Structure 1
Amino acid sequence: MKLLTKTTLYFILIMLPVFAAGAYYLFHKFNKEIKHETDEELVNDQLEWLRYLDTASLDNPIFRFHTQEFQLIPTDQPIQKKFKLKGVNLYQETEDTQAPFRELSQVISIHGKNYQLILRKSMIEKDDLAKNIITVMLLAFGGLLVFVILSNWFISRNIWSPFYRSLDKIRQLQLNKMETLQFNRTPTHEFNQLNDALNQMTDRIHQDYINMKELTEDAAHEMQTPLAIAQSKLELLLQDENLSEEQLKNIGQTSEELQRLSRLNHSLLLLAKIENQQYPVTEQTDLHPVLLKYLSLFEELIREKELTVDTKLAPAAPWPLHPALADILVSNLLGNAIKYNYPEGRISITLTQTSLTISNTSNLPEIPPANVFQRFRKSNQGYSNSNGLGLAIVKKIGDSYRINIRYQYRNGLHIFTATC
């Protein structure tokens, strides 16, 4: 969950109970005030009626008048010094429903006789008024809550925008372009601290990258010279007719190991260059002519093993690869398919605009999935001339240029698929 979403959710969880409690308090307070005002009106009405009844005669029709809002009933109960207030529900015939009233009752004495005085006031209109006010309040509270949440979200997003810009720069980071990367100043002190730390970190990484790149190149070049000298000296020794057969055999083995060491040095240098992004993609490379070129170069090996090659090639397949890496990808996969095939075996090549599949028959068993692309991992059978880096280089090309490399073993076929 994103930090902005998380903070917004926490804010909502905190604000909803606060707003609900506030709305409940206001409703309760408003309802209490309405009841208080109604009770005051009833008390005032009672005082007016008491003044009037003190001057009225017993023959006055008021002593025989009864309504829902006014009743004067003769009673034997003792006189009450204090009136009583309460809420009651009375049946309304016109609406066929119970309606709320506030009621004041008291036993009073008029001309020496006791009467039950009951005054009532309808709460229907006041309840409707309360409901309308509560509805307006809830809408206002709801609108205010939405406004506060949206304001908080927009403000938070604006505040966090420098962080996301820095994050995007880190995601697009490339070692060979780090010297141009700068994290800018922001109005926020904490983000400035973060950007300063990132600037220092990228400067150190870039410097380490430059040092490693120079060390790798220098070491590779320095190694090539003594290797070439040693190889040339061994070739001269092989031409000496005074050497015994055993000596010639030992020199030949040493020469082979030197050649293997030279290839290993070249492969390690190539891996380092790929990892350091030293093969920028300026334009897409068409794999169709690359495949045709290597089929032609390997034609003699294919004919020597009497292999059957089935091809299904798209007319054009532009891939986001440096031309040198396209050559390496195709030559390694096709070279392995030829090298580890058996005589009169079969190779199948399928090329589309987005995928390349090369499958081959072989007497070798399935390569363990955990080892297939690991460096210096090779089978005990059939890989004696390999330095164990061919497939590792293919995998590194795929990882560096967003090309998915997969290996499958199905029906006796070793299948390698590259998908861009």
Structure 2
Amino acid sequence: MKLLTKTTLYFLLIMLPVFGAGAFYLYNRFNKEIAHETDEELLNDQMQWVRYLDTTYVNNPVFSISTPEFNIHPTSAPVQSKPKFKNVKIYQEPEDDYAPFRQLTQVIRINNQNYELVLRKSKIEKADLVDNIIHVMLFAFGGLLIFVLISNWFISKRIWKPFYKSLTNIQQLQLNKLTKVNFEQTNTYEFNQLNATLSSMTSRIHQDYLNMKELTEDAAHEMQTPLAIAQGKLELLLQDESLTAEQQNSILLSYDELQRLSRLNHNLLLLAKIENRQYPVAQHLALKPVIEKYLLLFEELIKEKELQINSWLDPESHWPLHPALADLLISNLLGNAIKYNYPEGTIEITLTSTTLQIVNTSQLGAIPSDQLFQRFKKQQHTYSNSNGLGLAIVKKMADAYHLQLDYKYEDGKHHFRVVVAV
């Protein structure tokens, strides 16, 4: 979830209870104020009625009047000093329904006779008024909430614009094409600090990259030279006829180990170059000719094991790979399929615009998933001639250049599949 969306949601979660509590408070206050005003009107009416009844001259009068809004009748109850108020509902014939009223009740004394005086005021109009006020309040609060949310969203988007611009600049960086990154100056202190830190960090990363690139290039040159010299000297020694069989065997073992060391050195340097993305992808490469080239190079090995090759190659498949990486991918996967196959086995190669799959038979079981792409891991004793970097290099190349590398073992066959990430 984006920061701006999260901020808006948190703001909404805070404002909704506040607006709800405010609306509830105002609703109660309106009801109380209206009830207070109604009670005052009832008290005023009561005073007018008492004055009128006190001034009426009747010999031993006994009043008994009853209407929905006015009721007076004799009672034996004692005189009350204060009136009582309550809400009641009275049946209304025209509407055939009960209507809400506010009622005042008090026992008063008139001409030496106690009477219970009951006055009522309809609350229908006031209830309608409250409903109208509540609707207006809800509309106003809803409009205010929407306005605040939209305003907060636009303001936050404007405030965070420099951050997203800096983020875009960082996301577009490429180590092999890294130049000085210019971050715009903003009027926000924190963003200026962030941009300064990012600028310093990218400069250090670029310098480290250049140092690493120089180191790998120097190491490739400096280490291969003495290895080649040592191999040449051993080859000369092997031509010496005065050597005993035991001496020749020792020299052969040393020569084999030097060759293995040379391959290991080459693969480690290659791995470092891939990790540093020193193979830029300038254009898409047709992969079918690369596969055909290595099938031709491995032709002797294929014939020696009498392997059956079944291939389905799309000539229009172009992949985003550097030529050196395409060679590396095909030579490792196809070389393993040949090397660990058994005589008269099969190899199936399928190539489309997005998928390369190489399936080979083998007497070896499934490669454990936790050791499949780890460096220097040998899953079977028959892998002893391997330096343990082939699949690790292919995996590192796939990760660095947005390819997906999958493996499964099914029906006695090893399935390696490479997919171009969309």
Q: What is the TM-score when the length of structure 2 is the normalising length?
A: 0.90
Q: CA deviation at 1:322?
A: 1.0
Q: What letter matches 1:294 in structure 2? A: Y
Q: What's the counterpart of residue 103 of structure 1?
A: 103
- Deviation per CA, 1:96-148, whole angstroms, max 9, x where unpaired? 22222222344445455544333222111111111121122122222222322
Distance 2:379 2:56 in 1: 124
Q: What's the counterpart of residue 177 of structure 1?
A: 177
Q: CA deviation at 1:279?
A: 0.9
Q: Secondary structure at the residue paired with 1:344?
A: coil
Distance 1:78 1:398, change over 3 A: closer
Q: What's the counterpart of residue 206 of structure 2?
A: 206
Q: What's the counterpart of residue 140 of structure 2?
A: 140
- Deviation per CA, 1:346-384, whole angstroms, max 9, x where unpaired? 211111221111122223333222222222222453334
Distance 1:79 1:244 in 2: 141
Distance 1:387 1:217 in 2: 21
Q: What letter matches 2:253 in structure 1? A: Q
Of the structure 1 ranges 37-46 and 353-362, higher mean CA displacement relative to structure 2 is found in 37-46
Matches within 5 A, 1:190-339: 190-339=190-339
List gaps (5 residues or longer) in structure 2.
none
List gaps (5 residues or longer) in structure 1.
none
Conservation of the 8 A alpha-carbon contact between 1:306 and 1:345? yes
Conservation of the 8 A alpha-carbon contact between 1:364 and 1:381? no
Q: What's the counterpart of residue 20 of structure 1?
A: 20
Distance 1:300 1:215 in 2: 38
Distance 1:345 1:118, change over 3 A: closer
Conservation of the 8 A alpha-carbon contact between 1:319 and 1:353? yes
Q: What letter matches 2:49 in structure 1? A: W
Q: What's the counterpart of residue 157 of structure 1?
A: 157
Conservation of the 8 A alpha-carbon contact between 2:337 and 2:347? yes
Q: CA deviation at 1:168?
A: 4.0
Q: Determine if the alignment matches structure 1 residue 366 to structure 2 residue 363.
A: no
Conservation of the 8 A alpha-carbon contact between 2:176 and 2:280? no
Q: What's the counterpart of residue 357 of structure 1?
A: 357
Q: Determine if the alignment matches structure 1 residue 66 to structure 2 residue 66.
A: yes
Distance 2:392 2:142 in 1: 61
Distance 1:112 1:371, change over 3 A: closer
Aligned length: 419
Q: What letter matches 2:29 in structure 1? A: K
Q: CA deviation at 1:332?
A: 1.3
- Deviation per CA, 1:29-62, whole angstroms, max 9, x where unpaired? 1112212222222233233334433444439x99
Conservation of the 8 A alpha-carbon contact between 2:180 and 2:203? no
Q: CA deviation at 1:344?
A: 2.1
Kindly report the root-mean-square deviation, in angstroms, between the aligned alpha carbons of the 2 structures.
2.5
Distance 2:251 2:154 in 1: 76
Distance 1:57 1:340, change over 3 A: same
Conservation of the 8 A alpha-carbon contact between 1:404 and 1:419? yes
Percent pairwise identity: 66
Distance 1:81 1:270, change over 3 A: closer
Of the structure 1 ranges 327-336 and 11-20, higher mean CA displacement relative to structure 2 is found in 11-20
Conservation of the 8 A alpha-carbon contact between 1:290 and 1:327? yes
Distance 1:63 1:18 in 2: 55
Q: What letter matches 2:295 in structure 1? A: L
Of the structure 1 ranges 88-97 and 376-385, higher mean CA displacement relative to structure 2 is found in 376-385
Q: Secondary structure at the residue paired with 2:383?
A: coil
Distance 2:76 2:229 in 1: 137
Q: What's the counterpart of residue 7 of structure 1?
A: 7
Q: What is the TM-score when the length of structure 1 is the normalising length?
A: 0.91
Q: CA deviation at 1:181?
A: 3.3
Q: CA deviation at 1:337?
A: 1.4
